[in-house]
Structures are given as C-alpha cells and as structure tokens.
Amino acid sequence: MSVAAPPSLVFHRVGRPLPSVARGLGAELWDTAGRRYLDGSSGAVVVGIGHGRAEVAEAMARQAAAAAYVHGTQFTSEVLEEYARRLAVHAPGACRKLYLVTGGSEANETALKLARAWHLARGEPGRHKVVGRSISYHGNTLATLSVSGRPALQAPYRPLLTSTPRAAAPFCYHCPLDKAYPSCALACADDLATVIEREGPETVAAFVAEPQIGASAGSAVPPDDYLPRVAETCRRYGVLLVADEVMCGFGRTGRWFAVEHSGVAPDLVTCGKGMSSGYAPVGAVLAREGVVEAVDAAGGFVHGFTFSHHPVTAAACLAVLEILERERLVERAALLGARLAARLAVLRARPHVGDVRGRGLMWGIELCEEPSARRPFPRARRTAERVTERALEQGLVVYPSTGCAGADGDVLMVAPPLVTTDAQLEEMVSLLERALGAEGL
Ligand code: PLP
C-alpha cells in the first residue's frame, strides 16, 4: 500500500508542482523520480563549475567543522583573507577590496551605500541619487528594485519604492530611444550625461549598469563603445561607476568579468551567482582601494549583515575559484561560447525567433509574434513560460524572462555550466528546438 506524500508546507515560488532534486553532476540533474535533466541555464545563470563537485563540499565541511561562523566585527578568518588575495588577481582595475555578503541584491545594496559613504567622506553630502537604466535588474530588495528597470516586478510595490533617475539602456533590439546602431551615434550613452545634468550633478552619487544585460534584456551585449563612453561621463561628473556583474561575472562571458571586454575600470563591481557556483548563497562588492581608504579614514562604513564575511561561504568561493583557475574554465567559456553561438544561430530560421543574442555562455533567445517587426507576443499568452515547461518535459532546464518589450517580451536564457561537454551542448539545443516545435514556434 503506498502512502500519499504529506502536503508541502513550503511557501514555493511558483504555483505549479515542482520536481524534487536528488543530485547533480556537471551539467546534469536528476530528480527523486529518477528523471534526468540537462541544466541549460545553470539554474538562474549561477552554476559555472558544474553540479556535484565534492571538492567544494569538502572545503565547506572542513571550514564548518573548524569555525562555521564569526561575526564580521569580531573576527576575520584565514579562508576569507586568502580568498580576497586570490580574487584580487582577477579583479577589474583597482577593485581589489572584497566585501562578502549573501546574495546579489545585498551586494548591490552594499554598493549603493558605499557610493554614498564615499561622497560623504569626501565632503559632498548632497550626492545621494543613483542612476539606473531603463531596462535593468539589480535585485529584489526595495532599494535595488527601485534602481532596476523592471516595471512588472516593481508594479505591486510601487508605493514602497523610491523614484530613481534612469538613462536609456543599450538594448539595440528594442532601442528605448527608437534608434539604430551605429547611426544613433550611441545616443543611449549620451543620455547618461543628459540625466545627470537634469538631476544636478551635485546630487548624483553613482551610475549602476550591467556590462552585459542579464535577464531583463535577455543577455543584450552593448555596442563596444558604450561602456567607455559612460565611464568617461561618470569620471567627468564625479559619479561612481558600479558594474553589476552578478550574472555576467566569474567567467560567464568568456572573461573573468564582462567589463573587461570594454577595457573600462569601474569603481565598484558587484558579484554573486557564479562566484560560489551556487554552493553557498553569496554576493560581494569589489571596491576600488581608494574608495575604501577614504571611507575608512572618515570613520568607517556604517553597514553590515549578520552573515557578511562568512567563513563557510568564503571556503566555497575559494574552492570554486581554484577550480575555475585549474580547469581554465573562463577560457573554456569563451571557446564553448563560440560553439554555442554557432549552434544557436540556426534557431534564427524558426518562424518566431526574433533574436539570438549574447556572448560567452550567456545567451538570450527572444520569441516574437512577428519577428520582422520585432513585435512581441501578448504577455497573456505566456510564451516564454510555456516553452520553458515544454523544455522541462523534454528534460531541459532553461530560464525564462519576460518584459523586455514594454509589458510584453519573451526570452529564454540559455547559459549552461562552463563544464558542459560538446555532446551535452548539442543535446541542449536539440531539446530546445523540440520544445519550440511543441509550441508551434
Ligand atoms: N543583479 C543582477 C544583474 C542579477 O541578474 C541579479 C539576479 O538575477 C541580481 C542582481 C540579484 O541577485 P540575487 O537574486 O542573488 O539577490
């Protein structure tokens, strides 16, 4: 006689039944019913080094057994110090000072407050505004959601959010300024200067931008000259440049940090996701040393969380960093990314694929009702969600994103682990084609 499972007391994130994960290895997952899945999106673009790496689990267990927790105002730990030293080798520009937290939203909250603290330290208390971009995502806390350009996520909480100035995002497929590159002469980059002038430069603390836009714009890569131009604008107005690398950092785009593709040196870099590959909940700010020195000299950073600077998290991140280095996974992301690009390009021939965009192992496939006019499906059709469900039925995990075309817009994020094999890559794209076909796309 079989006994019915008790009803779940978990407040789940979605209303439909979810498979229960049993284990993972590399780019594959198995559920408790024994079904196999290919992780075509690394969860939410998180798992760089692959699932089931015992080496990371062992490093975490060793640290947990030795000293699992200390408060960041009472102790440091050798593992955290070692991690900061090792990460500094890869950090963009002079962003070598590590502030470890527990998620990407916390990382961006920390960066916004650090930018403010820096201006206070320099005697410019009027600078408090953070400029975001029209299409962007920086987190789900109230401050980071305020800075984001995600109307559908913001709508229910509008009365709780602060109004944030926004510059046009470098999102060429749905240009917010209705222009086309290169004849636009990079008007979106120039829009930053316009916004800063309008707000009053003496009130602006920071500009936050994803060097490769994540799910909000389905992996849009800005034109090469975009980041250098906005960096120059920030410098001119004394505004700190915050590069949000929560999704695109840690090798995902074929460089340690996506900002490296442009040669720009940001003031603050925010990290998360691939930093621990999901083995521990993590986020971080990498700050330019001069910023930290100024804030420290003025009395220190009034900030912190119970679980910031966590030793077990640091142990996970250090083990992940060692694997990324030893297995040359960042270089592999570039190599594999070129193969994935070629394979995904074939999807362009499908009747409802409007765009295939990305770099490295971070790609977005935008589905349109009428690709020639870049016209999206109506949101009510739930196109991205439906294809995602079909894909899961086929044993493929992809990450849906919506809202890149006003209230509409359907994107499938394809971002496999950096350890995916060629055969798995092939299988992922075949399964994706099958899922699209099942939805008549
Ligand atoms: N910034 C970017 C670019 C992201 O993609 C995300 C999450 O998807 C965040 C910030 C927020 O990170 P978290 O969900 O870990 O709080």
Distance of alpha carbon 350 from alpha carbon 370, whole angstroms: 11
Write the pLDDT tens digit of every residue in 280-312: 999 999 999 999 999 999 999 999 999 999 999
Residue nearest to atom 14 of ligand 1 (CA): 104
Q: Is 50 in the pocket of ligand 1 (CB under 6 A)?
A: no
Structure tokens at 45: 């673009």
Please check whether residue 115 is in contact with residue 242, taking contact to mean a CB–CB distance below 8 angstroms: yes
Q: Is 111 in the pocket of ligand 1 (CB under 6 A)?
A: no
Q: What is the mean pLDDT of residues 71-79?
A: 98
Per-residue pLDDT, 88: 98
Q: Is 271 in the pocket of ligand 1 (CB under 6 A)?
A: no
Q: How confident is the model at residue 2 (pLDDT cuts 50, 70, 90)?
A: low
The dihedral region occupied by 98, where left means phi > 0, alpha psi between -120 and 50, and beta the remainder, is beta
Distance of alpha carbon 72 from alpha carbon 303, whole angstroms: 11
Distance of alpha carbon 382 from alpha carbon 398, whole angstroms: 15
The residue among 335, 324, 308 whose CA lies nearest residue 250 is 324
Q: Which atom of ligand 1 is the closest one to the Cα of 281?
A: 15
Structure tokens at 145: 């959601």
Q: Is 105 in the pocket of ligand 1 (CB under 6 A)?
A: yes
Which residues make Cβ contacts (< 8 Å) with residue 235, sequence separation at least 6?
A: none
Does 387 have pLDDT greater than 60? yes
Q: How confident is the model at residue 384 (pLDDT cuts 50, 70, 90)?
A: very high
How many angstroms is it from 326 CA to the middle of ligand 1? Answer: 27
Q: Which atom of ligand 1 is the closest one to the Cα of 108?
A: 10
The residue among 242, 299, 244 whose CA lies nearest residue 275 is 244
Radius of gyration of the chain, Cα coordinates, nearest whole angstrom: 22
The residue among 376, 381, 383, 344 whose CA lies nearest residue 360 is 344
Instruction: Work out whether the CA dihedral 178, 203, 227, 218 comes out positive or negative.
Output: negative
Does 4 have pLDDT greater than 80? no
Per-residue pLDDT, 357: 98
Does 315 have pLDDT greater than 70? yes
Report how far Cα 171 is from the mean position of its chain's Cα atoms. 16
Per-residue pLDDT, 273: 98
How many angstroms is it from 281 CA to the middle of ligand 1? Answer: 12
Write the pLDDT tens digit of every residue in 190-245: 999 999 999 999 999 999 999 999 999 999 999 999 999 999 999 999 999 999 99
Per-residue pLDDT, 7: 87
Q: Is 39 in the pocket of ligand 1 (CB under 6 A)?
A: no
The count of C-alpha atoms lying within 13 angstroms of the C-alpha of 142, restricted to the half-sphere facing its C-beta, is 7
Does 325 have pLDDT greater than 80? yes
Please give the backbone phi and psi of residue 279, each rounded to the nearest 5 degrees, phi first: -70, -25
pTM greater than the 0.95 cutoff: yes
Does 268 have pLDDT greater than 70? yes
- Give kind and range of the element (H or E) at residue 242: strand 240-244
CA distances 203 to 119, 127, 128, 260, Å, are: 10, 4, 6, 29
Write the pLDDT tens digit of every residue in 83-122: 999 999 999 999 999 999 999 999 999 999 999 999 999 9
Q: Is 280 in the pocket of ligand 1 (CB under 6 A)?
A: no
Mutate which of 133, 136, 138, 413 to test ligand 1's pocket (most atoms within 8 Å of Cβ)? Answer: 138
The count of C-alpha atoms lying within 13 angstroms of the C-alpha of 431, restricted to the half-sphere facing its C-beta, is 23
Mutate which of 105, 171, 308 to test ligand 1's pocket (most atoms within 8 Å of Cβ)? Answer: 105
Using a pLDDT cut of 90, give the percent of the chain over it: 98
Beta partners for 197? Answer: none
Spell out where 245-373 has E strands.
Answer: 268-271, 283-288, 353-359, 362-370
Does 401 have pLDDT greater than 70? yes
Per-residue pLDDT, 1: 57
Task: Give the chain's mean pLDDT.
Answer: 97
Q: Which atom of ligand 1 is the closest one to the Cα of 104?
A: 12
The residue among 423, 432, 367 whose CA lies nearest residue 396 is 432
Report how far Cα 420 is from the mean position of its chain's Cα atoms. 19
Residue nearest to atom 1 of ligand 1 (CA): 138
Does 5 have pLDDT greater than 90? no
Q: Is 135 in the pocket of ligand 1 (CB under 6 A)?
A: no
Using a pLDDT cut of 70, give the percent of the chain over it: 100
Q: Any idea what DSSP says for residue 232?
A: H
Peptide bond into 266 cis (omega under 30): no
Q: Is 211 in the pocket of ligand 1 (CB under 6 A)?
A: no
Q: What is the mean pLDDT of residues 21-37?
A: 98
Place of tokens 């070598």: 96
Q: Which atom of ligand 1 is the closest one to the Cα of 136?
A: 3
